[in-house]
Amino acid sequence: MCAINAAIEVDLTGQVCADSIGQMHYSGVGGQMDFMRGAALSHEGKPILVLPSQTT
């Protein structure tokens, strides 16, 4: 199983922000940890977290 999820930002301790920036909602609340954990626990599972590019 491979679970690919998007995030907005990651801090220096590894905490991920994936639902909002201030008052602007980026995605729905909840579910990301379930997919990441499910992929990590499955046989040969790969949880992948993607971030937007900051270059132009």
For 30-48, how does the pLDDT look when each residue is reduced to its tens digit (9 = 90+)? 677 788 888 888 999 888 8
| Residue 29 in this model has a pLDDT that exceeds 70 | no
Residue 24 CB contacts under 8 Å (≥ 6 apart), including other chains: none
Q: How far is CA 30 from the centre of its chain?
A: 11
For 10-25, how does the pLDDT look when each residue is reduced to its tens digit (9 = 90+)? 889 988 877 777 777 7
Range of the domain at 40: 2-50
Domain count, the chain: 1
In a domain, 11, yes or no: yes
Full-model pTM? 0.63
| Residue 27 in this model has a pLDDT that exceeds 90 | no
In a domain, 17, yes or no: yes
In a domain, 55, yes or no: no
pLDDT at 56: 67
In a domain, 29, yes or no: yes
In a domain, 20, yes or no: yes
Torsion of CA 15, 26, 34, 14, to 10 degrees: -10
The residues that bridge with 10 in the sheet, in sequence order, are: 16
pLDDT at 12: 95
